[in-house]
Amino acid sequence: MTDSSLFYIFSFPVFASTSPGASFPYPEPRIVELLILVSFIFLLNVSRSIADYFLHGGIIAEIALGMVYGRPLAAILPASWEETFTVLGYLGLIGIVFAGGLSTELPLLLANLPLSTLCALTGIGLPVAFSFALLTAGYGYEPLEAFAAGAALSSTSLGTTLMALNSVASGVQDSGAAGIAKREAAKLEAEPRQYSPPLHKSRIGTILISAAVIDDVIGLVLASLVPALSLQHGASEPKTNLAWTIIRPILSSVLMAVITPILARFILRPIYWYRNFGPRWCLPREPDKPWGCPRLLRMVSRRQVDSASEDQWGTQCHADVIAISSMILGISAFSAIAFYSGSSVLFGAYLAGLTVAYISKPQPTGTLSPAAQHTVISDPHTFEATYERTVGPLQRTLLAPLFFASIGYAIPFLSLWQPRILWRGILYAILMGIAKLCVGVPILLCGTLTKPPQVPSSSLTTRARNSTYPALFMGVAMIARGEIGLLIAQLARTQSSSSSDRGLLGDEVFLVCIWAILLCTLLSPISLGIIVRRLGHKITQGIWGR
């Protein structure tokens, strides 16, 4: 197996050109191919459920199964299937990020943006600094190798973080539901219960998601910088403009982040609510609300649309089709703009989710309590609920598992077990885990220095203790690397996917870097699941809830 297998995670198949009159032959699939496909998809879901129950990290099983079925071990999947599954898996990753944007409260995100930026910069700077300290001073590698490895380990896997967050959050909500319901019903009459928002909608969850998105943007900058440094490092290639290589993704991301809220506030939202245009099409028909354009529908159906018939226009199915089509158009537009302007496709998908959630949110008529706000957000007719109801099952059972499996078959597993590489990789992974744990330090400091308005006389020790669990949660959730780390490592390995020239990373330091990426990606979801299930609502209490 060659190290170029890592390139498959971001190399999409190039379709051969055919003549206009040609057609694709339709042979009957072989039974072996069908059995391989069925077993792969079936085992992805079964192994995820088992690993999620015992290890609190179903992602681990999907990555491991990708190693087994892919070319690192058994090579059961043909190369063309691996390429196809990579494309489908990346669609799943885009869907995960879009759903994260849908569930994010924009005012809460903007209010905590400085803290999120500080956490993201901490998670970027410390891995690079620690890499210089260990790889250069300890292992004797070159400074450029230390920088390339630190760049790969400074990224945070946005897809892994969001998927693990959603998994453990749903697990906490579903576990022991019957017993909890009985106990809570008995408590409701005795004393009022403090509202605790869902983890991904809480303040600490919003800070985590936005910090991971910022990490993804900075990871894109580093991914663009590493090949340029490789060309500068090599003598056979022309020099590149490093300044524009660095500035382009940053400038593109900043412009998109600035223009998108203005576009949503002054153009898209007024259009959506003009004469209830958006709700009239994206929500099902009700007795006091028509659906779509009744005159046009009467022309199409050639009959009066009334509320007596069940097989008419305006059902929940029709509204879902319009809503899903609108979301797909939004994702496609934002992702294409982000890609062609030099930013990250995932950043564009996240902005699309934020925009759709913002423009469709009704204007509040008064001051609502957090619990009442959550009731409004949980309306089954919101875009978030529609996406979860229609696309969610496909994403959870097929697209997202294929994404994590594609990470598995992109890891050079058999090359990692040389003793020297093994102990160096484990030590490096521990240091990189500590570096990402330090992301919780700004959370701890902010919680310690901020006096809650409800308890103005709280002591410094009490505030620090109340912020310990959120800080630990933040640090552990940011440990996961993944697709961006593998991409940067592969780009630093060779100057191109087909080049044999030496890049920034040599053979040994490349495998040490892969070890660290693999261990961090595997251990973070497990640790995050244990923390969330053990600590529960303690993470979102106080100032870190809403």
pLDDT band of residue 191 (cuts 50, 70, 90) is very low
Predicted pLDDT of residue 30 = 93
Lowest mean pLDDT among 394-398, 441-445, 498-502: 498-502
Average pLDDT over residues 97-119: 90
* Mean pLDDT over each residue of the chain, to the nearest integer: 80
Q: What are phi and psi of 289, to 5 degrees?
A: -140, 115
For 292-339, the pLDDT digits (tens) are: 776 666 665 555 444 444 446 678 888 899 999 999 999 999 999 999
Quick one: pLDDT at residue 543? 84
- Most confident listed range (10-24, 247-261, 358-372): 247-261
Of the listed ranges 385-394, 433-442, 451-460, the one predicted with least confidence: 451-460
Look at residue 31 in the predicted model and tell me its pLDDT: 95
Output DSSP code: residue 6: G
Query: Residue 504: which pLDDT band, with cuts at 50, 70 and 90?
Result: confident
What distance in Å separates the CA atoms of residue 63 and residue 88, rounded to the nearest whole number? 15
Q: What percent of the chain has pLDDT over 90?
A: 41
pLDDT above 50 (res 376) = no
Tell me, what's the pLDDT at 168? 64
- Which residue, among 203, 182, 73, has the nearest Cα to 466 in the 3D structure? 203
CA separation, residue 327 to residues 258, 316, 401 (Å): 21, 16, 22
Enumerate residues 6+ apart whose C-beta is below 8 A from 519. 425, 426, 429, 433
For the segment 29-57, the average pLDDT, to the nearest whole number, is 93
Q: Spell out the residues 6+ positions from residue 431 whose beta carbon is closer than 8 angstroms to its own.
A: 130, 134
**Does residue 392 belong to any structural domain of this protein?**
yes
Assigned domain for 325 exists: yes
**Spatial separation of the C-alpha atoms in residues 417 and 146, rounded to whole Å:** 21
Q: Does residue 413 surpass a pLDDT of 70?
A: yes
Instruction: Write the pLDDT tens digit of every residue in 343-353.
Output: 889 899 999 99
Residue entry with tokens 């050639």: 302
303 within some domain: no
> Is it the case that residue 436 has pLDDT exceeding 60?
yes
pLDDT of residue 172: 54
Distance CA 74, CA 298 (A): 59
pLDDT value of residue 186: 42
Half-sphere exposure (Cβ direction) of 67: Cα atoms closer than 13 Å? 13
Least confident of 116-120, 200-204, 312-316, 317-321: 312-316
Position 12 pLDDT exceeds 70: no
Count Cβ atoms within 10 A of the Cβ of residue 460 and give its class: 0-12 exposed, 13-18 middle, 19 or more buried. exposed
User: Which segments within 69-151 are labelled E, that is strand?
Assistant: none
What's the confidence (pLDDT) of residue 3?
44
- Looking at mean pLDDT, say which of 27-36, 229-238, 455-464 comes out highest: 27-36
pLDDT above 80 for 412 = yes
Phi-psi region of 379 (alpha: psi -120 to 50; beta: other; left: phi over 0): beta
Structure pTM?
A: 0.83
CATH value at residue 35 = 1.20.1530.20
Distances (CA, A) of 450 to 36, 303, 464: 56, 63, 10
Say if residue 53 is exposed, middle or buried (CB neighbours under 10 Å; 0-12, 13-18, 19+): exposed
Amino acid residing at 535 = L
- Separation CA 161–CA 200 (nearest Å): 11
Which range has highest mean pLDDT (195-199, 378-382, 467-471, 536-540)? 467-471
Task: Specify if 18 maps to a domain.
Answer: no
> Please, which contacts does 33-37 make with residues 24 or more away whose CB atoms are closer than 8 Å?
36/76, 36/77
Q: Count Cβ atoms within 10 A of the Cβ of residue 363 and give its class: 0-12 exposed, 13-18 middle, 19 or more buried.
A: exposed
Q: Encoding tokens for residue 156? A: 């945070």
Residue 179's pLDDT band (boundaries 50, 70, 90)? very low
The answer to whether 425 and 519 have CB atoms below 8 angstroms apart is yes
- The per-residue pLDDT for 299 is 60
Question: Which pLDDT does position 333 carry in this prediction?
Answer: 96
Q: What is the largest CA-CA distance in the chain?
A: 80
Tell me the pLDDT tens digit for each residue of 519-534.
Answer: 998 899 889 888 888 8
Q: Is residue 289 part of a domain?
A: no
Number of domains present in the structure of the chain: 1
pLDDT higher than threshold 60 for residue 495 = no
Q: What is the pLDDT of residue 502?
A: 58
Does pLDDT of 489 surpass 60? yes
**Considering the domain boundaries, does residue 189 fall inside one?**
no
Higher per-residue confidence, 135 vs 180: 135
Report how far residue 29's alpha carbon sits from residue 34's, in angstroms, rounded to the nearest whole number.
7
Higher pLDDT, 533 or 358: 358
DSSP result, 481-518: --HHHHHHHHHHHBSSTT--SB-SS-HHHHHHHHHHHH
What is the rounded distance in angstroms from the CA atom of residue 359 to the CA atom of residue 278? 9
DSSP-assigned letters across all residues of 264-301: IIIIIHHHHHGGGHHHHHHS--BTTB--S-HHHHHHHH
Q: Domain span at residue 37?
A: 3-13+30-171+197-283+315-544
On the question of pLDDT at 88 being above 90, the answer is yes
Give the model's pLDDT for residue 379: 63
Answer yes or no: is 302 within a domain.
Answer: no
Per-residue pLDDT, 84: 95
Measured CA to CA in angstroms, residue 115 lies from 277, 433, 442, 451 at distances of 37, 21, 7, 16
On the question of pLDDT at 66 being above 90, the answer is yes
Integer CA distances (angstroms), 238 to 30, 197, 233, 367, 502, in order: 49, 54, 10, 61, 15
Instruction: Tell me the mean pLDDT in the region 11-34.
Output: 72
310 occurs within a structural domain: no
Q: What is the mean pLDDT of residues 109-113?
A: 89
